[in-house]
Structure formats: structure tokens, C-alpha cells
């Protein structure tokens, strides 16, 4: 089983992001944004990160297959606990072979070297990193959330998340 880290770039400076990653000895930063750009913070554009992170000893990888902003792919979503359409759409996507293959690639990276996955939101529970983190945790991996150079926060599986026939399903009372 692998240990994976997660971080949101938020409104940090590039130096703050690098400091947080280096404080936790991160070797790979996997960008799981569908659109790796920032109107206000150009240092978080994919091209900029691909150029500057290696200078800090951190490999940058864009993994579009884990990106958010998923369209509705089913009318019969089993994720009845997810009120937010965006979360429900992403959770539906997490049931696909494409997602599972990308998640397996992320795990393989983490088994070889210290790896963090990143999106824009600072708080993981406000974006699709929550579903990715739940999926990884439900499959036996350890997920640790980085907020800065200080201590990490271990991920706890969302209360309404259940493994049903080896698939992560959000059931019960509505969460979001």
C-alpha cells in the first residue's frame, strides 16, 4: 500500500508551495486540475510549474485523467448522499475504468517516490480531491493532507462513503 500526499495551491506564492512540498520531502507533484491554469496566479500555469518545480528538485506531472469538472455521465447515479451535482458527477466518473487506470498510475508513482497530488482549492473537502482521497483510502492507501510546512492531516473516509462490490459509493443522508 502507498502513502500519498495532497495539497491545494490556493493563493499561495510559488515559494510557499515549494516550501510546503519540500518540508514534506515531496519528489513528485501530480497536478489533477482539468485546466491547469490560473487567471490571477500565472505561476500556477502548467507550463510555469513544469519549468520551475524541477529547479526545486520536484518533478511535475499533469494527470488530466484525474481532473475535475466532469459532465454528467449517468442518470442513475448511485451517489445519493452527494447533493452537489459537481461532486456527484466526479464520483460517477470515479466508477469508470479511465479513473481507475489513472488512480493506479498515481499509486505506482507514490510507491516509487514521495508523491503529492494537487488542485486549486486549499481545502480538500471543497473540491474533487475529496473523492480521490476517499477512493485511495477506501482501497487501503494512506492519504495525508498538506496545508503548509507544518504537520499533515491524515485523511478520514467521508462518513457516507461505502465500498459496494469494490466500488466507492456515497450513500445515506445527503452530504454536500
pLDDT (0 to 100) of residue 64? 97
Q: Which three cell numbers mark 11?
A: 493563493
Tell me the helix, strand and coil percentages in the chain, rounded to 5. 35, 20, 45
pTM: 0.94
Contact 133, 124 (CB under 8 A): yes
H or E element that contains 111: helix 97-112
DSSP string, 135-159: HHHHTT-EEEE-SSSS--EE----T
Q: Which three cell numbers mark 161?
A: 462513503
pLDDT (0 to 100) of residue 39? 85
Of 42, 36, 8, nearest to 120 (Cα)?
8
In order along its 176 residues, the chain shows pLDDT tens digits of 999 999 999 999 999 999 999 999 999 999 999 999 988 999 999 999 999 999 999 999 999 999 999 999 999 999 999 989 999 999 999 999 999 999 999 999 999 999 999 999 999 989 999 999 999 999 999 999 999 999 999 999 999 999 999 999 998 654 44
pLDDT (0 to 100) of residue 176? 42
Q: Which three cell numbers mark 26?
A: 515531496
For the domain bounded by 3-170, which CATH number is listed? 3.90.190
Contact 114, 25 (CB under 8 A): yes
For 132, which DSSP code? H
User: What are the CA-CA distances from residue 24 to residues 91, 150, 173 (Å)?
Assistant: 29, 9, 36
Distance CA 151, CA 144 (A): 10
Amino acid at each position: 500500500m502507498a502513502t500519498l500526499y495532497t495539497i491545494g495551491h490556493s493563493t499561495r506564492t510559488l515559494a510557499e508551495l515549494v516550501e510546503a512540498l519540500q518540508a514534506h520531502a515531496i519528489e513528485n507533484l501530480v497536478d489533477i486540475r482539468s485546466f491547469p491554469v490560473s487567471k490571477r496566479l500565472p505561476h500556477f500555469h502548467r507550463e510555469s510549474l513544469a519549468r520551475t518545480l524541477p529547479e526545486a528538485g520536484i518533478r511535475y506531472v499533469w494527470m488530466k485523467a484525474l481532473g475535475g469538472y466532469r459532465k454528467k455521465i449517468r442518470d442513475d447515479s448511485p451517489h445519493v448522499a452527494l447533493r452537489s451535482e459537481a461532486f456527484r458527477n466526479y464520483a460517477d466518473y470515479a466508477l469508470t475504468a479511465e479513473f481507475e487506470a489513472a488512480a493506479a498510475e498515481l499509486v505506482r508513482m507514490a510507491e516509487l517516490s514521495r508523491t503529492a497530488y494537487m488542485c486549486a482549492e486549499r481545502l480538500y473537502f471543497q473540491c474533487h480531491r475529496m473523492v480521490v482521497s476517499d477512493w485511495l483510502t477506501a482501497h487501503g492507501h494512506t492519504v495525508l493532507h498538506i496545508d503548509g510546512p507544518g504537520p499533515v492531516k491524515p485523511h478520514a473516509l467521508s462518513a457516507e462513503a461505502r465500498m459496494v462490490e469494490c466500488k466507492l459509493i456515497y450513500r445515506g443522508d445527503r452530504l454536500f
